Structure 1
Amino acid sequence: MQKLLKLLLVTLLFCFYTFTSPVKAADTTNGEQLFKVHCAGCHMNGGNIVRRGKNLHKKALKKYGMDSLEAVESITANGKNNMSAYKDRLSVQEIQDVAAYVLEQAEKGWR
């Protein structure tokens, strides 16, 4: 009986934790603000002032394998070549917000 009660308690705690602590969804409004502050200097309107072909438009993102949230989050956090890393300046949630904003804008053609 005690084992059953312990199992029930563990199950209830797991369910409570799982359903009351959801991962926050990306906030593209926040992503837009962060992009303006941290990214627009090099990526105005989805462009790239350093390497024109490696921009944030849908075609280029797809060509370079950067057309997923995971890929955009990774390069935003860790940087690559001339791209600075932002993991020490932005939180994980902020990086997710920026990535979601970038992909949303790429879908819209940066309009």
Structure 2
Amino acid sequence: MLSQVLRCCIGAFLVLLLSLGSTGASLAAGADTSPGALLFEQHCAGCHINGGNIIRRGKNLKLKTLERDEIATVTAIAAIARGGRGQMSGYADVLGTDGDQLVAEWVLIQAQNAWTQG
């Protein structure tokens, strides 16, 4: 019983840390300050830290998933970043001019590199 409570508390604590501190953690790990990386950290990493998805595991940004869902292109990723998809809202307003393209290019590179850079 106690071990179940501890696991639950640890799990909740980790989710809280990921949601509150994902921006700094990801940038520190990769030290990538490109415009696409910065936009990703500001607007996407809260849910998609290191290409994962803390809300829906199967909707991550790993290359295998992008290919499975036929969205492993800059154009497709940019369209989702701009307009949203499913439960994810679009970010056209906050990404600014060409921000969707910058994020998409960066995401695809990270996916191709198995998210080892951040």
Q: Which residue of 2 aligns with 1:36?
A: 41
Rg larger in structure: 1
Q: How many residues align?
A: 84
Return the letter of the residue paired with 2:39.
L
Runs (5+) with no aligned partner, structure 2: 1-32
Higher RCO (C-alpha 8 Å, min separation 6): 1
TM-score, with normalisation over the residues of structure 2? 0.68
1:82 aligns with 2:87: yes
Following superposition, the deviation at residue 92 of structure 1 comes to 3.4
Question: Which one of the candidate residues 79, 100, 117 is aligned to 1:95?
Answer: 100
Partner of 1:63: 68
- Report the CA distance between 1:50 and its aligned residue: 1.3
TM-score by length of structure 1 reads: 0.72
**Cα deviation code 1:11-36 (max 9, x no counterpart):** xxxxxxxxxxxxxxxxx811001101
Aligned residue identity for 1:54: K
**Unmatched 5+ residue regions in structure 1?**
1-27
Find the residue that maps to 1:89 and give its secondary structure: helix
When the two chains are superposed, the root-mean-square deviation of aligned CA atoms in Å is 1.2
Q: CA deviation at 1:55?
A: 0.5
Deviation by residue 1:59-78 (Cα, 9 ceiling, x = unmatched): 00000111001100100000
